[in-house]
Structure 1
Amino acid sequence: MSSISIARVFAAVAALVSTASAACTRESLLASAQAYVDAQKTGNTNALKLSPTFKYQQNNKERALSAGLITTPFKLDLVRSTADTVACASYTMWISSSGSKPYVVGTQIRHDGNDTSTITLIDTIAATTGDLFFNASKTLGYIRKEDWTPINNTGSMPSRELLKKVGDGYLDMWTDPKAADSIPWGTECERVEGSQYTNPCGKSLPHGGSSKPNGMRRTDLVCRYVIDEVQGSVDILCQFDSLGTMPDSHEIRVVDGKVKYVHTITALKVG
């Protein structure tokens, strides 16, 4: 084989490897989320494959990974992850209700360049004793009963546009008097805010009144969301400025075009 032919073979192989490493699939996103969960269970992050530009953020403040909650081992009572192949990101909720320091946590994991071989950002909202409406045992009891069966029928999956609209509409209710009525509330839907339970979801909603919009929705129009059409869910990490500078995660599930579940995790202070 000539040197030119050999060079072409190596180029072809390199191209295939590059394509494989850049694939952002549902399976690879959930595998990366599981690696994060495994690290959280042990408090050991050595197995995580981090990019050279990796950042760790906790309660809207960047900090060293070694100083993060992830380096403390927890017994996890509930773990659930969703995947967004368009934004190349995942969202994981976990609850630890035992021990002296219970937590309810929402974490977005992001990968640059559509490449899940390394993690670019771990962005965590962590609530614990003393945070807004916090009671991990109550929250666990509510969420364990929920049905998160995947929506396997493509025709029944909510669109990304609808999920974005619902997520933004929910966060806009405190400043926009029309936002609450723009959301397609289900008749049998459950809202768990910290440990406060409301059924139906559309009951007792704000209709404006605050002059401060909820900000820090992760400025990029794609990357402020983790949208999973298979689960019919959207998660937005933000700062709940309408009520104070509170780090916050809002996750909403839509089934058959209507809001089915709402989860909020809200810490009272940054960092």
Structure 2
Amino acid sequence: MKNSLCKIWAVVASVVSLTTAANCTREGLLAAANSYIDAQTSGKPSSLQLIATNFTYQQNNKISDISKGLLSTPYKIDLSRSTADTVECASYTMWISSTGSKPFVVGTQIRHANNDTSTITMIDTIAATTGDLFFDAKKTLGYIKAEDWSPINSTASRPSRDLLKKVGDGYLDMWTDPKAADSIPWGTQCERVEGSQYTNPCGKALPHGGSAKPNGNRRYVIDEESGSVDVLCEFSSLGAWPDSHEIRVIDGKVKYVHTITVMKT
């Protein structure tokens, strides 16, 4: 009887262990994002826990060698911020380096296979620098440092995943769909930072269609706790440019919009 009970508890423990291992946690995602920032600061991608097989590094929508990419050069990071998507087991990190001979504003999505945040399956980076759309890292830094990205602690106040995705898609659809801009719940004090170009309120001077080319190749990180969605894409409406659009929704209204757009690859 004792041996039978021991076997039963061993099976239960095994099931619990497997269930726990299958959970993609916010803490795990943010820890991996922090390790990415540490690797970028040191310029040592070898410090990252990359999956042994089928790892992918993509920079400005092109699959690249991580040892020859942005991560192989150390940068002094003036500001960084990360969000987490436990459904897709992915994170989004924005960082700014405003000093030195080559400043950068970067948006990176990190993805994990099988809900296992202990290893990284993909690093997907959009990296803008001097000469890119409205680029001025010091101005961008000033605008974004002034923003409030406190967590939305009340579950009832958080935007739904569905709303966040609709807002992200609606924004990118404005160039092809004349009705898209009016479908977005703009806040009265919404701030839009496109490169270093600042607009307040966000709902001013928006496109209402006109392009025949949709902005495609969309990859999402949706974080209800921070009320944000980031979409990496190809901004084909203007020129097949690598692009990141991050949007934050507070109390059901768009509060912040950030764009990182690379005009050359």
Alignment partners' CA distance in 1, 2:13 and 2:251: 45
Alignment partners' CA distance in 1, 2:123 and 2:29: 13
Alignment partners' CA distance in 1, 2:142 and 2:212: 35
1:103 is aligned to 104
2:239 is aligned to 244
Deviation (angstroms), 1:113: 1.2
Cα displacement string for residues 91-145 of structure 1 (whole angstroms, at most 9, x for unaligned residues): 0000000100100000000011111121110000000001111000000000000
Alignment partners' CA distance in 2, 1:54 and 1:258: 37
Q: Which runs of 5+ in 1 are unaligned?
A: 218-223
Deviation (angstroms), 1:22: 2.6
Instruction: Classify the secondary structure of the residue corresponding to 2:141.
Output: helix
Deviation (angstroms), 1:207: 0.3
Deviation (angstroms), 1:17: 4.1
2:50 is aligned to 50
TM-score, normalised with respect to structure 2: 0.95
CA contact under 8 A between 1:41 and 1:73: conserved in structure 2? yes
Alignment partners' CA distance in 2, 1:116 and 1:154: 24
The total of aligned residue pairs comes to 264
CA contact under 8 A between 1:134 and 1:195: conserved in structure 2? yes
- AA in 1 matched with 2:248: R
1:160 is aligned to 161
Alignment partners' CA distance in 2, 1:96 and 1:13: 47
Alignment partners' CA distance in 2, 1:128 and 1:7: 60
Does 1:191 pair with 2:192? yes
Displaced runs of 4 or more, over 6 A: 1-10
Cα displacement string for residues 181-231 of structure 1 (whole angstroms, at most 9, x for unaligned residues): 0000000010000000000000000000111110111xxxxxx21001111
Tell me the percent identity: 71
- AA in 1 matched with 2:236: D
- AA in 2 matched with 1:247: P
CA contact under 8 A between 1:59 and 1:269: conserved in structure 2? no
1:235 is aligned to 230
1:172 is aligned to 173
Instruction: Report matched runs for 1:61-140 at 5 Å.
Output: 61-140=62-141
CA contact under 8 A between 1:250 and 1:262: conserved in structure 2? yes
Alignment partners' CA distance in 1, 2:76 and 2:104: 10
Q: Which runs of 5+ in 2 are unaligned?
A: none
Deviation (angstroms), 1:81: 0.2
CA gap 1:67/1:9 in 2 versus in 1, 3 angstroms: farther
Does 1:31 pair with 2:31? yes
